A = this chain, B = another copy of it.
Amino acid sequence: MDERQTDKEDDTASRQRPTLKTLAFMTGLGVTTVSRALKDAPEIGAETRRRVQLVARQIGYRPNRAGVRLRTGKTNVISLVLNTEQEIMSFVSDIIYGVSEVIADTPYHLIVTPYSRAQDPLEPIRYLAETGSADGVIISRTQPNDPRARYMLERGIPFATHGRTEMGLVHPYHDFDNYAFATEAVRRLAGMGRKRLALLTPPVGLTYHGHTVNGFADALSEVGASEVPFNTVSIDHSIEQIRMRTAQLMRRDVRPDGFVSSAAAATLAIVAGIEDAGLKLGRDVDVVSKQSSELLHLFRRELLVVNENFRLAGSELARAVLGWIGGKEPGSLQSLSKPSEVLSYRG
């Protein structure tokens, strides 16, 4: 039966994926020792440690995730929670790529947890919490009073939000400074002599809606321009809706001579609406737009753009969750990304 034992070990070593047992057999040590040696535990002799690690590297040992997870509860998973029904979703791939970059040389996997508009946004978070399927969570479409953030804070689940909250609770986030974007945009338009400005806002209810609106308002009074209300639509509305509302607006007596738009796709619709009304971009009206991929200048040279880097956002968010998981202070894991200059491509 010693024979059988050896056979079994041999078998294990030969074709199957190596486990701690394989390593133990090869080194002649116990599994416990091997386990500790691999994680540089101090009570293992220096030479043994090196020997085990060498063999492990040689045979390409990789810890079995299920084993670790079952024993320790650590999943080595970061979950990115996404709404699958957003009109504007081009930025999603950028975020994913940004996150990927950061977790590439960690043991973490990225899982995408979707939810539809119809569902309670809390539902996927509850699922993650109850099944313990992630060590950390990234959420977007953050609200000033965000039940998801509150929920995870209560249960001690590390997370990072794309966008800030306003609950007086501290947690990691990454945000783009939309207040600054709006003020810069207004200043630029004012600098070009534009006086009556309209704002196409982010979705009402999200925190950055407020930031954008405030920046817009503050800058308006700063430069002495006036607002033409345009709050029947937001960037969450369909292209057709925005286009139609813009055209309606531009046919009014008191029409804006400047637009600030919070999303690139929406800007296409605004421009289309402007032209539907028989007006000309750059002559009758100017538009400053945020964009994530640098394509808007190809659309109309007259467009003024500010770049928002979502890949960066993804990286920062990943770094933030990993930092929290790794024990850093949540308060130290907050970052705000300043907008670029307002860029012009004309002439």
| Residues in A lying within 8 Å of B, measured CB to CB | 17, 60, 62, 64-67, 69-70, 75, 77, 82, 84, 89-90, 92-94, 96-97, 100-101, 104, 109-114, 130-133, 239, 243, 265, 268-269, 271-272, 293-295, 298-299
Contacts and interface: CB of A to CB of B under 8 A. Distances in A.
8 contacts: A66-B70, A92-B96, A96-B112, A97-B114, A104-B114, A109-B113, A112-B112, A243-B298
A184 B254 CA distance: 47
Contacts of A100: 82, 84, 112, 114
Copies in the assembly, this chain = 2
A101 B130 contact: no
Contact of A131 (B62, B295, B298): B62
A189 to B, nearest CB: 22
A312 to B, nearest CB: 14
Nearest to A91: B93
Nearest to A268: B298
Contacts of A239: 294-295, 298
Nearest to A70: B66
A65 B75 CA distance: 10
Contact of A84 (B101, B111, B114): B101
Given A93-B93, A100-B84, A109-B111, A130 B62 contact: yes
Given A84-B101, A111-B109, A65 B96 contact: no
A67 B68 CA distance: 11
Contact of A265 (B93, B111, B265, B295): B295
A89 B84 contact: no
Contact of A97 (B69, B84, B298): B84
Contacts of A92: 92-93, 96
A130 B97 contact: no
B97 A93 contact: no
A100 B293 CA distance: 24
A313 to B, nearest CB: 14
Contacts of A64: 70
A101 to B, nearest CB: 7
A15 to B, nearest CB: 12
A130 B17 contact: yes
A194 to B, nearest CB: 23
User: Which 7 A-B residue pairings sit nearest by Cβ, starting from the closest?
Assistant: A92-B93, A100-B114, A66-B69, A66-B70, A268-B298, A84-B97, A89-B93
A96 B114 CA distance: 9
A241 to B, nearest CB: 13
A81 to B, nearest CB: 11
Nearest to A65: B133
Contacts of A89: 93-94, 97
